[in-house]
Protein backbone atom coordinates (compact mmCIF):
# COMPACT_ATOMS: atom_id res chain seq x y z
CA UNK A 1 0.00 0.00 0.00
CA UNK A 2 1.30 3.43 -0.93
CA UNK A 3 1.98 5.75 1.99
CA UNK A 4 -0.68 8.47 1.83
CA UNK A 5 -1.36 11.76 3.56
CA UNK A 6 -4.53 12.51 1.59
CA UNK A 7 -7.85 13.06 3.29
CA UNK A 8 -10.24 10.12 2.98
CA UNK A 9 -12.28 11.74 0.20
CA UNK A 10 -9.14 12.49 -1.84
CA UNK A 11 -7.37 9.15 -1.52
CA UNK A 12 -6.69 7.29 -4.76
CA UNK A 13 -7.74 10.10 -7.09
CA UNK A 14 -5.76 10.18 -10.31
CA UNK A 15 -6.75 12.27 -13.30
CA UNK A 16 -5.52 9.98 -16.05
CA UNK A 17 -7.88 10.72 -18.78
CA UNK A 18 -8.13 8.69 -21.95
CA UNK A 19 -7.66 11.81 -24.04
CA UNK A 20 -4.28 12.60 -22.51
CA UNK A 21 -3.17 8.98 -22.93
CA UNK A 22 -4.15 8.91 -26.61
CA UNK A 23 -2.55 12.25 -27.34
CA UNK A 24 0.69 11.20 -25.63
CA UNK A 25 0.80 8.09 -27.87
CA UNK A 26 0.28 10.30 -30.93
CA UNK A 27 3.09 12.59 -29.81
CA UNK A 28 5.45 9.62 -29.55
CA UNK A 29 4.54 8.45 -33.05
CA UNK A 30 5.12 11.94 -34.46
CA UNK A 31 8.61 11.98 -32.90
CA UNK A 32 9.34 8.54 -34.38
CA UNK A 33 7.75 8.68 -37.85
CA UNK A 34 7.38 12.42 -38.59
CA UNK A 35 4.24 14.55 -38.49
CA UNK A 36 3.35 13.88 -42.11
CA UNK A 37 3.01 10.15 -41.43
CA UNK A 38 0.78 10.38 -38.36
CA UNK A 39 -2.95 11.14 -38.07
CA UNK A 40 -3.54 12.72 -34.69
CA UNK A 41 -7.32 12.75 -34.21
CA UNK A 42 -7.14 13.23 -30.44
CA UNK A 43 -6.84 17.01 -30.16
CA UNK A 44 -9.87 19.08 -29.07
CA UNK A 45 -8.76 22.30 -30.76
CA UNK A 46 -8.95 23.61 -34.31
CA UNK A 47 -5.82 22.97 -36.37
CA UNK A 48 -5.41 24.27 -39.90
CA UNK A 49 -4.46 22.09 -42.88
CA UNK A 50 -0.80 22.43 -41.89
CA UNK A 51 -1.78 21.17 -38.41
CA UNK A 52 -1.04 24.47 -36.69
CA UNK A 53 -3.22 25.69 -33.83
CA UNK A 54 -5.46 28.46 -35.17
CA UNK A 55 -6.24 31.70 -33.36
CA UNK A 56 -9.11 33.69 -34.86
CA UNK A 57 -7.33 36.73 -36.39
CA UNK A 58 -9.72 39.32 -34.89
CA UNK A 59 -9.24 37.78 -31.47
CA UNK A 60 -5.46 38.01 -31.81
CA UNK A 61 -5.50 41.63 -33.01
CA UNK A 62 -7.86 42.84 -30.30
CA UNK A 63 -6.12 40.87 -27.56
CA UNK A 64 -2.70 42.28 -28.49
CA UNK A 65 -4.20 45.79 -28.30
CA UNK A 66 -5.48 45.43 -24.74
CA UNK A 67 -3.53 47.73 -22.37
CA UNK A 68 -1.15 45.89 -20.06
CA UNK A 69 -2.86 47.17 -16.92
CA UNK A 70 -6.11 45.60 -18.13
CA UNK A 71 -4.35 42.31 -18.75
CA UNK A 72 -2.67 42.11 -15.35
CA UNK A 73 -5.19 43.69 -13.02
CA UNK A 74 -7.67 41.90 -10.80
CA UNK A 75 -11.28 41.84 -11.92
CA UNK A 76 -14.52 41.93 -9.93
CA UNK A 77 -15.36 38.41 -8.66
CA UNK A 78 -18.67 38.47 -10.56
CA UNK A 79 -16.87 39.50 -13.77
CA UNK A 80 -16.58 42.81 -15.62
CA UNK A 81 -20.13 44.14 -16.12
CA UNK A 82 -19.67 44.76 -19.87
CA UNK A 83 -18.25 41.24 -20.27
CA UNK A 84 -21.31 39.75 -18.57
CA UNK A 85 -23.62 41.76 -20.80
CA UNK A 86 -21.65 40.67 -23.88
CA UNK A 87 -21.66 37.02 -22.78
CA UNK A 88 -25.47 36.97 -22.53
CA UNK A 89 -25.83 38.77 -25.86
CA UNK A 90 -23.46 36.60 -27.87
CA UNK A 91 -24.70 33.42 -26.27
CA UNK A 92 -28.41 34.10 -26.82
CA UNK A 93 -28.18 36.08 -30.09
CA UNK A 94 -31.65 36.96 -31.29
CA UNK A 95 -33.23 34.16 -29.21
CA UNK A 96 -32.94 35.61 -25.74
CA UNK A 97 -35.48 33.83 -23.54
CA UNK A 98 -38.24 35.93 -22.00
CA UNK A 99 -37.12 35.49 -18.40
CA UNK A 100 -34.89 36.95 -15.70
CA UNK A 101 -31.33 36.45 -16.94
CA UNK A 102 -28.09 37.06 -15.09
CA UNK A 103 -24.49 35.96 -15.67
CA UNK A 104 -21.55 35.21 -13.39
CA UNK A 105 -17.99 34.97 -14.76
CA UNK A 106 -16.38 31.53 -14.54
CA UNK A 107 -13.11 29.83 -15.40
CA UNK A 108 -14.37 28.54 -18.76
CA UNK A 109 -17.28 26.18 -19.28
CA UNK A 110 -15.64 23.80 -16.79
CA UNK A 111 -16.13 26.46 -14.14
CA UNK A 112 -19.85 26.59 -14.90
CA UNK A 113 -20.17 22.83 -14.53
CA UNK A 114 -18.20 22.94 -11.29
CA UNK A 115 -20.41 25.63 -9.74
CA UNK A 116 -23.65 24.07 -10.98
CA UNK A 117 -22.75 20.73 -9.39
CA UNK A 118 -21.72 22.36 -6.15
CA UNK A 119 -24.68 24.70 -5.81
CA UNK A 120 -27.54 22.79 -7.42
CA UNK A 121 -27.07 19.18 -6.34
CA UNK A 122 -26.87 17.74 -2.84
CA UNK A 123 -23.75 15.96 -1.63
CA UNK A 124 -24.20 12.23 -2.39
CA UNK A 125 -26.94 12.87 -4.98
CA UNK A 126 -26.80 11.85 -8.61
CA UNK A 127 -26.36 14.19 -11.58
CA UNK A 128 -27.76 13.09 -14.96
CA UNK A 129 -26.26 13.26 -18.45
CA UNK A 130 -26.31 11.19 -21.66
CA UNK A 131 -24.32 7.95 -22.05
CA UNK A 132 -22.08 9.62 -24.64
CA UNK A 133 -20.53 12.37 -22.57
CA UNK A 134 -17.42 14.46 -22.05
CA UNK A 135 -15.34 12.55 -19.45
CA UNK A 136 -14.68 15.48 -17.10
CA UNK A 137 -18.41 15.61 -16.19
CA UNK A 138 -17.79 12.50 -14.10
CA UNK A 139 -14.58 13.81 -12.56
CA UNK A 140 -16.30 17.08 -11.65
CA UNK A 141 -19.19 15.18 -10.03
CA UNK A 142 -17.05 12.73 -8.14
CA UNK A 143 -14.60 15.33 -6.89
CA UNK A 144 -17.59 17.18 -5.42
CA UNK A 145 -18.82 13.92 -3.82
CA UNK A 146 -21.72 13.46 -6.25
CA UNK A 147 -22.44 10.58 -8.63
CA UNK A 148 -23.10 10.72 -12.35
CA UNK A 149 -25.75 8.58 -14.01
CA UNK A 150 -26.60 8.38 -17.71
CA UNK A 151 -29.49 7.67 -20.09
CA UNK A 152 -29.09 6.30 -23.63
CA UNK A 153 -28.62 9.37 -25.86
CA UNK A 154 -29.97 7.75 -29.03
CA UNK A 155 -32.97 5.57 -29.80
CA UNK A 156 -33.10 3.02 -32.62
CA UNK A 157 -33.71 5.74 -35.20
CA UNK A 158 -30.59 7.56 -33.96
CA UNK A 159 -32.73 10.40 -32.61
CA UNK A 160 -32.70 11.78 -29.05
CA UNK A 161 -34.02 9.04 -26.79
CA UNK A 162 -36.79 10.89 -24.95
CA UNK A 163 -38.15 7.71 -23.38
CA UNK A 164 -34.77 6.82 -21.85
CA UNK A 165 -34.37 10.42 -20.67
CA UNK A 166 -37.81 10.45 -19.06
CA UNK A 167 -37.30 7.13 -17.29
CA UNK A 168 -34.05 8.32 -15.70
CA UNK A 169 -35.39 11.76 -14.72
CA UNK A 170 -38.43 10.22 -13.04
CA UNK A 171 -36.46 7.50 -11.32
CA UNK A 172 -33.87 9.91 -9.91
CA UNK A 173 -36.53 12.34 -8.76
CA UNK A 174 -38.29 9.54 -6.91
CA UNK A 175 -35.13 9.24 -4.81
CA UNK A 176 -33.93 12.84 -4.52
CA UNK A 177 -35.60 16.26 -4.33
CA UNK A 178 -33.35 18.05 -6.75
CA UNK A 179 -31.85 17.00 -10.05
CA UNK A 180 -29.10 18.57 -12.11
CA UNK A 181 -29.29 17.53 -15.77
CA UNK A 182 -26.36 18.28 -18.08
CA UNK A 183 -27.18 18.45 -21.80
CA UNK A 184 -24.36 19.19 -24.24
CA UNK A 185 -25.84 20.60 -27.42
CA UNK A 186 -25.57 21.87 -30.13
CA UNK A 187 -22.58 20.09 -31.74
CA UNK A 188 -22.23 17.60 -28.90
CA UNK A 189 -18.88 16.25 -27.78
CA UNK A 190 -18.19 13.41 -28.67
CA UNK A 191 -20.83 12.69 -31.37
CA UNK A 192 -21.49 16.02 -33.11
CA UNK A 193 -25.24 15.65 -32.49
CA UNK A 194 -27.55 18.64 -31.98
CA UNK A 195 -30.98 18.28 -30.39
CA UNK A 196 -33.74 19.47 -32.71
CA UNK A 197 -36.22 22.06 -31.46
CA UNK A 198 -38.87 19.34 -31.26
CA UNK A 199 -36.55 17.21 -29.13
CA UNK A 200 -36.01 20.18 -26.84
CA UNK A 201 -39.80 20.45 -26.48
CA UNK A 202 -39.91 16.83 -25.35
CA UNK A 203 -37.03 17.36 -22.89
CA UNK A 204 -38.74 20.38 -21.38
CA UNK A 205 -42.10 18.59 -21.23
CA UNK A 206 -40.49 15.85 -19.18
CA UNK A 207 -38.97 18.49 -16.88
CA UNK A 208 -42.24 20.42 -16.56
CA UNK A 209 -44.15 17.25 -15.84
CA UNK A 210 -41.66 16.26 -13.13
CA UNK A 211 -41.72 19.78 -11.70
CA UNK A 212 -45.48 19.58 -11.07
CA UNK A 213 -44.55 18.18 -7.68
CA UNK A 214 -43.69 21.58 -6.24
CA UNK A 215 -41.09 20.26 -3.79
CA UNK A 216 -38.90 19.00 -6.66
CA UNK A 217 -36.16 21.24 -8.09
CA UNK A 218 -34.75 20.74 -11.58
CA UNK A 219 -31.73 22.51 -13.03
CA UNK A 220 -31.01 22.05 -16.72
CA UNK A 221 -27.40 22.89 -17.49
CA UNK A 222 -27.00 23.42 -21.22
CA UNK A 223 -23.37 23.02 -22.19
CA UNK A 224 -23.08 25.18 -25.31
CA UNK A 225 -19.28 24.97 -25.58
CA UNK A 226 -19.43 24.25 -29.34
CA UNK A 227 -22.38 26.47 -30.30
CA UNK A 228 -20.29 28.83 -32.42
CA UNK A 229 -19.46 25.98 -34.81
CA UNK A 230 -22.90 24.38 -34.82
CA UNK A 231 -24.21 25.88 -38.04
CA UNK A 232 -26.13 29.01 -38.98
CA UNK A 233 -25.97 31.38 -36.01
CA UNK A 234 -29.67 32.07 -35.66
CA UNK A 235 -30.93 28.58 -36.42
CA UNK A 236 -28.71 26.85 -33.89
CA UNK A 237 -29.81 29.22 -31.12
CA UNK A 238 -33.57 29.01 -31.68
CA UNK A 239 -34.05 26.48 -28.85
CA UNK A 240 -32.92 29.07 -26.31
CA UNK A 241 -36.28 30.86 -26.46
CA UNK A 242 -37.90 27.78 -24.96
CA UNK A 243 -36.30 28.57 -21.59
CA UNK A 244 -38.67 31.49 -21.08
CA UNK A 245 -41.85 30.97 -19.04
CA UNK A 246 -40.77 27.75 -17.30
CA UNK A 247 -42.09 26.99 -13.79
CA UNK A 248 -40.05 28.61 -11.03
CA UNK A 249 -38.76 25.26 -9.77
CA UNK A 250 -36.92 24.77 -13.06
CA UNK A 251 -33.74 26.78 -13.58
CA UNK A 252 -31.80 26.79 -16.82
CA UNK A 253 -28.06 27.47 -16.75
CA UNK A 254 -26.16 28.11 -19.99
CA UNK A 255 -22.46 27.27 -19.89
CA UNK A 256 -20.85 29.98 -22.03
CA UNK A 257 -17.19 29.39 -22.87
CA UNK A 258 -14.62 31.42 -24.82
CA UNK A 259 -12.40 28.35 -25.30
CA UNK A 260 -13.67 27.27 -28.72
CA UNK A 261 -15.81 30.18 -29.93
CA UNK A 262 -12.92 32.61 -29.44
CA UNK A 263 -10.06 30.04 -29.70
CA UNK A 264 -8.96 31.10 -26.20
CA UNK A 265 -8.76 27.57 -24.79
CA UNK A 266 -6.08 28.22 -22.19
CA UNK A 267 -7.32 31.63 -21.11
CA UNK A 268 -10.02 30.04 -18.94
CA UNK A 269 -12.84 32.47 -19.51
CA UNK A 270 -16.55 31.78 -19.53
CA UNK A 271 -19.79 32.63 -17.79
CA UNK A 272 -22.72 30.85 -16.24
CA UNK A 273 -25.92 32.35 -17.46
CA UNK A 274 -28.97 31.75 -15.29
CA UNK A 275 -32.43 31.88 -16.88
CA UNK A 276 -35.49 31.77 -14.63
CA UNK A 277 -39.03 33.06 -14.37
CA UNK A 278 -38.38 33.87 -10.71
CA UNK A 279 -36.49 36.98 -9.70
CA UNK A 280 -35.68 35.36 -6.35
CA UNK A 281 -34.09 32.37 -8.05
CA UNK A 282 -31.95 34.65 -10.19
CA UNK A 283 -30.87 36.84 -7.28
CA UNK A 284 -29.90 33.72 -5.41
CA UNK A 285 -28.12 32.39 -8.54
CA UNK A 286 -25.89 35.47 -8.64
CA UNK A 287 -25.19 35.47 -4.94
CA UNK A 288 -24.35 31.81 -4.43
CA UNK A 289 -22.28 31.42 -7.55
CA UNK A 290 -20.20 34.52 -6.88
CA UNK A 291 -19.61 33.12 -3.42
CA UNK A 292 -18.38 29.84 -4.89
CA UNK A 293 -16.10 31.74 -7.28
CA UNK A 294 -14.58 33.58 -4.32
CA UNK A 295 -14.07 30.22 -2.64
CA UNK A 296 -12.66 28.47 -5.73
CA UNK A 297 -10.58 30.76 -7.94
CA UNK A 298 -11.43 34.32 -6.83
CA UNK A 299 -11.68 36.37 -10.02
CA UNK A 300 -10.98 35.21 -13.58
CA UNK A 301 -8.95 36.48 -16.56
CA UNK A 302 -9.55 40.22 -16.90
CA UNK A 303 -7.82 40.60 -20.28
CA UNK A 304 -9.97 37.94 -21.88
CA UNK A 305 -13.15 39.47 -20.45
CA UNK A 306 -12.06 42.83 -21.89
CA UNK A 307 -11.47 41.11 -25.22
CA UNK A 308 -15.06 39.88 -25.44
CA UNK A 309 -16.49 43.23 -24.35
CA UNK A 310 -14.35 45.09 -26.92
CA UNK A 311 -15.37 42.88 -29.81
CA UNK A 312 -19.01 42.91 -28.76
CA UNK A 313 -19.16 46.70 -28.56
CA UNK A 314 -17.82 47.09 -32.10
CA UNK A 315 -20.17 45.92 -34.86
CA UNK A 316 -17.41 45.75 -37.45
CA UNK A 317 -15.16 43.60 -35.28
CA UNK A 318 -18.08 41.33 -34.42
CA UNK A 319 -18.99 40.87 -38.09
CA UNK A 320 -15.36 40.21 -38.97
CA UNK A 321 -15.06 37.59 -36.24
CA UNK A 322 -18.20 35.84 -37.42
CA UNK A 323 -16.81 35.64 -40.93
CA UNK A 324 -13.58 34.14 -39.65
CA UNK A 325 -15.51 31.55 -37.63
CA UNK A 326 -17.59 30.72 -40.67
CA UNK A 327 -14.38 29.77 -42.52
CA UNK A 328 -13.38 27.43 -39.67
CA UNK A 329 -16.88 25.98 -39.48
CA UNK A 330 -16.75 25.14 -43.20
CA UNK A 331 -13.29 23.65 -42.90
CA UNK A 332 -14.40 21.33 -40.08
CA UNK A 333 -17.64 20.47 -41.88
CA UNK A 334 -15.77 19.58 -45.09
CA UNK A 335 -13.50 17.23 -43.15
CA UNK A 336 -16.48 15.57 -41.43
CA UNK A 337 -18.25 15.21 -44.77
CA UNK A 338 -15.32 13.33 -46.26
CA UNK A 339 -15.34 10.94 -43.31
CA UNK A 340 -19.12 10.46 -43.44
CA UNK A 341 -19.17 9.80 -47.19
CA UNK A 342 -16.37 7.26 -46.92
CA UNK A 343 -17.99 5.67 -43.84
CA UNK A 344 -21.15 5.17 -45.82
CA UNK A 345 -19.18 3.63 -48.73
CA UNK A 346 -17.43 1.10 -46.53
CA UNK A 347 -20.55 0.53 -44.37
CA UNK A 348 -18.95 1.83 -41.19
CA UNK A 349 -21.67 2.65 -38.64
CA UNK A 350 -21.42 6.18 -37.23
CA UNK A 351 -23.41 8.17 -34.74
CA UNK A 352 -25.46 11.03 -36.19
CA UNK A 353 -23.09 13.96 -36.76
CA UNK A 354 -24.62 17.38 -37.30
CA UNK A 355 -21.68 19.68 -36.56
CA UNK A 356 -18.78 20.30 -34.23
CA UNK A 357 -15.28 19.25 -33.37
CA UNK A 358 -15.83 15.49 -33.03
CA UNK A 359 -17.55 12.54 -34.57
CA UNK A 360 -17.90 9.08 -33.06
CA UNK A 361 -18.00 5.54 -34.28
CA UNK A 362 -19.68 2.99 -31.99
CA UNK A 363 -17.47 0.02 -31.11
CA UNK A 364 -16.74 -2.58 -28.44
CA UNK A 365 -13.23 -3.10 -27.00
CA UNK A 366 -12.38 0.46 -27.92
CA UNK A 367 -8.89 0.36 -26.38
CA UNK A 368 -8.06 -2.57 -28.65
CA UNK A 369 -9.60 -0.84 -31.68
CA UNK A 370 -7.48 2.25 -31.03
CA UNK A 371 -4.37 0.10 -30.52
CA UNK A 372 -5.09 -1.58 -33.86
CA UNK A 373 -5.36 1.87 -35.47
CA UNK A 374 -1.90 2.69 -34.14
CA UNK A 375 -0.56 0.19 -36.70
CA UNK A 376 -1.81 2.64 -39.36
CA UNK A 377 -0.40 5.54 -37.35
CA UNK A 378 -3.93 6.77 -36.61
CA UNK A 379 -4.58 8.05 -33.09
CA UNK A 380 -8.12 8.50 -31.78
CA UNK A 381 -9.72 8.50 -28.34
CA UNK A 382 -11.21 5.25 -26.99
CA UNK A 383 -14.47 5.95 -25.15
CA UNK A 384 -16.71 3.50 -23.26
CA UNK A 385 -18.94 2.85 -26.26
CA UNK A 386 -16.97 3.98 -29.25
CA UNK A 387 -14.05 5.79 -30.79
CA UNK A 388 -13.92 9.59 -30.96
CA UNK A 389 -12.35 11.28 -33.95
CA UNK A 390 -11.43 14.96 -33.72
CA UNK A 391 -12.23 16.32 -37.19
CA UNK A 392 -11.32 19.78 -35.86
CA UNK A 393 -7.67 18.75 -35.81
CA UNK A 394 -7.11 16.53 -38.85
CA UNK A 395 -6.49 18.02 -42.33
CA UNK A 396 -8.85 16.88 -45.10
CA UNK A 397 -6.02 15.06 -46.87
CA UNK A 398 -5.39 12.89 -43.84
CA UNK A 399 -9.12 12.20 -43.32
CA UNK A 400 -9.20 10.54 -46.72
CA UNK A 401 -9.02 6.77 -46.30
CA UNK A 402 -9.48 6.92 -42.54
CA UNK A 403 -13.03 5.49 -42.40
CA UNK A 404 -11.91 2.30 -44.17
CA UNK A 405 -9.06 1.88 -41.70
CA UNK A 406 -11.39 2.40 -38.73
CA UNK A 407 -13.77 -0.15 -40.21
CA UNK A 408 -10.93 -2.64 -40.65
CA UNK A 409 -9.70 -2.11 -37.08
CA UNK A 410 -13.20 -2.71 -35.70
CA UNK A 411 -13.62 -5.84 -37.83
CA UNK A 412 -10.26 -7.24 -36.69
CA UNK A 413 -10.91 -6.63 -32.97
N1 LIG B 1 -18.00 21.07 -22.38
C2 LIG B 1 -17.51 20.25 -23.29
C3 LIG B 1 -18.41 19.21 -23.86
C4 LIG B 1 -16.17 20.34 -23.70
O5 LIG B 1 -15.70 19.49 -24.61
C6 LIG B 1 -15.37 21.34 -23.13
C7 LIG B 1 -13.95 21.44 -23.50
O8 LIG B 1 -13.35 20.61 -24.09
C9 LIG B 1 -15.95 22.18 -22.17
C10 LIG B 1 -17.26 22.01 -21.82
C11 LIG B 1 -15.27 23.23 -21.40
O12 LIG B 1 -14.26 23.87 -21.88
P13 LIG B 1 -13.63 25.08 -21.10
O14 LIG B 1 -13.62 24.76 -19.65
O15 LIG B 1 -12.28 25.19 -21.69
O16 LIG B 1 -14.51 26.25 -21.39
H-run or E-run covering 250: strand 250-257
22 burial type by CB count under 10 A (0-12 exposed, 13-18 middle, 19+ buried): buried
Question: Which residue minimizes the CA distance to atom 1 of ligand 1?
Answer: 225
pLDDT at res. 265 = 97
- State which of 108, 139, 300 you would mutate to test the pocket of ligand 1, scoring each by most atoms of that ligand within 8 A of its C-beta: 108
pLDDT tens string 126-141: 999 999 999 999 999 9
Q: Answer yes or no: is pLDDT of 320 > 90.
A: yes
Domains of the chain: 18-56+318-412 (3.90.1150.10), 68-315 (3.40.640.10)
Q: DSSP letters of 251-295? A: EEEEEEESTTTTS-GGG--EEEEEEES-HHHHHHHHHHHHHHHHH
Question: Which residue minimizes the CA distance to atom 12 of ligand 1?
Answer: 109
Question: Which residue minimizes the CA distance to atom 8 of ligand 1?
Answer: 44
State in Å: Cα 109 to ligand 1 middle: 5
- State which of 87, 106, 110, 182 you would mutate to test the pocket of ligand 1, scoring each by most atoms of that ligand within 8 A of its C-beta: 110
Q: Please report the atom of ligand 1 found closest to the CA of residue 109.
A: 16
Q: Please report the atom of ligand 1 found closest to the CA of residue 110.
A: 14
CA 254 – CA 113 distance, rounded (Å):
10
Residues with Cβ within 8 Å of 13's Cβ and at least 6 positions away in sequence, in order, are: 6, 143
Does the predicted interface ipTM exceed a cut of 0.85? yes
Q: Please report the atom of ligand 1 found closest to the CA of residue 111.
A: 14
pLDDT at res. 89 = 98
Quote the mean pLDDT of the chain.
Answer: 97
H-run or E-run covering 21: helix 18-33
State in Å: Cα 80 to ligand 1 middle: 22
- State which of 91, 105, 109 you would mutate to test the pocket of ligand 1, scoring each by most atoms of that ligand within 8 A of its C-beta: 109
Q: Please report the atom of ligand 1 found closest to the CA of residue 357.
A: 5
Q: Answer yes or no: is pLDDT of 214 > 90.
A: no
Q: Please report the atom of ligand 1 found closest to the CA of residue 269.
A: 16
pLDDT at res. 17 = 73
Would you say 308 and 296 are in contact if contact means Cβ atoms under 8 Å apart? no
State in Å: Cα 25 to ligand 1 middle: 22
State in Å: Cα 350 to ligand 1 middle: 23
CA 226 – CA 220 distance, rounded (Å):
17
State in Å: Cα 225 to ligand 1 middle: 6
pLDDT at res. 22 = 85
Rounded to a whole number of angstroms, the CA Rg of the chain reads: 21
Would you say 41 and 394 are in contact if contact means Cβ atoms under 8 Å apart? yes
At 20, is the pLDDT very low, low, confident or very high (cuts 50, 70, 90)? confident
Phi then psi for residue 285, to 5 deg, are -55, -50
Residues near ligand 1 (Cβ within 6 A): 44, 108-110, 134, 184, 189, 223, 225, 257, 259, 265, 270
pLDDT at res. 329 = 97
pLDDT tens string 251-293: 999 999 999 999 999 999 999 999 999 999 999 999 999 999 9
Amino acid sequence: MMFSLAASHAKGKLATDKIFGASAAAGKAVAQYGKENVVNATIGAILDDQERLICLPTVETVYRGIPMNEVINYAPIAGLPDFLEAAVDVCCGSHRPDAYIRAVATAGGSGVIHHAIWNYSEIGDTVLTADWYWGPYKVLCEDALRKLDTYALFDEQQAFNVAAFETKVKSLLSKQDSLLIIINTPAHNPTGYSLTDAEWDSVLNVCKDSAKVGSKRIVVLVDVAYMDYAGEKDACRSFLRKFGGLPQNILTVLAFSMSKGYTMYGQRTGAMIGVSSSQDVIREFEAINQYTSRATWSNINRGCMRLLATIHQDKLLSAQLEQEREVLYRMIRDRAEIFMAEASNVELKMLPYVAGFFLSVPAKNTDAVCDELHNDNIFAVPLAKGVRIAVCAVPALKIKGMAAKVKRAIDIV
